[in-house]
Amino acid sequence: MEINPETRKKLIVSADDFGLRIEANEKILQLIRQGKIDRVAILADGQYTQAEIRELLQSGVKLDIHLDIETHKSAEQEMKQSVAKRVFLFFVKYLAGKMTSEKIRLEWKRQTKKFIRIFGQKPDGINSHEHLHFFPAYFAIALSLADQFDIGYIRLGKKRALGKNNPAALVMSLFSKKNQRLLKASKLASSDFLVSFDWIGSKEKFFQNLPAGKIEIVFHPERKEEFEAMECF
């Protein structure tokens, strides 16, 4: 798969999960050195060295906060859980009062303050692990944090999410309409469209038929297929 320069201009290439594990950090930094990445999503409670922090700050890449609730969950646990199971467990916890809006607000505020302490600057943007901020009650919290900390960008897609045949994309689309109204009222910046690389079916067909507008495409570079795809950008 080769991405031509005109197609590349339409894309915002984002790398997720910096700090989640060593492999993710190494792959992301390697791609930054190659000039393949526009934005990096960083876990405030993640693991990284002072040297990695310095390299990120000197790279010129946008540094976004990757808000999370369960950073302790292992990669193996994530891979074993289907989208349906993750959604089910989320709503069980939410309805049981374990993930109330107030608890999430306090937790995400703590993470934002920690990010600022570590990097010496506010985040350039806001997103979340497993797209948790798409849940409308949490999206309102993310918008409030952006206003409080003067953060100018949020991951959403002002028009819609792409790749709707994917279960995760379908869930995101169900939440998008309400979130888009909240986004419009906030005046925050976002891309026109959003897609995660693993939501895309036929990659060649997808990149040959991009809609007009700016598209944020999200990658997890520690995955071999996604790392190799990013090298084509």
pLDDT in tens, the chain (233 residues): 678 889 999 999 999 999 999 999 999 999 999 999 999 999 999 999 999 999 999 999 999 999 998 744 444 444 445 555 665 666 566 667 777 899 999 999 999 999 999 999 999 999 999 888 999 999 999 999 999 999 999 999 998 888 766 777 777 777 778 899 999 999 899 999 999 998 898 888 899 899 999 999 999 999 999 999 999 89
What are the helix and strand counts (H, E) for the chain?
A: 10, 8
Phi, psi dihedrals of residue 58, rounded to the nearest 5°: -85, -10
Report which secondary-structure segment, H or E, holds 42.
strand 39-42
182 and 176 in contact (C-beta within 8 Å)?
A: no
Residues 6+ apart with CB under 8 A from 191: 12, 155, 156, 157, 158, 213, 214, 215, 216
Domain ranges within the chain, ordered by starting residue = 5-230
183 and 156 in contact (C-beta within 8 Å)?
A: yes
CATH superfamily entry for domain 5-230? Glycoside hydrolase/deacetylase (3.20.20.370)
β-pairing, 160-161 vs 193-196, is: parallel
pLDDT at 98: 72
| Tens-place pLDDT, residues 79-112 | 445 555 665 666 566 667 777 899 999 999 999 9
User: Rounded to two decimals, what is the model's pTM?
Assistant: 0.89
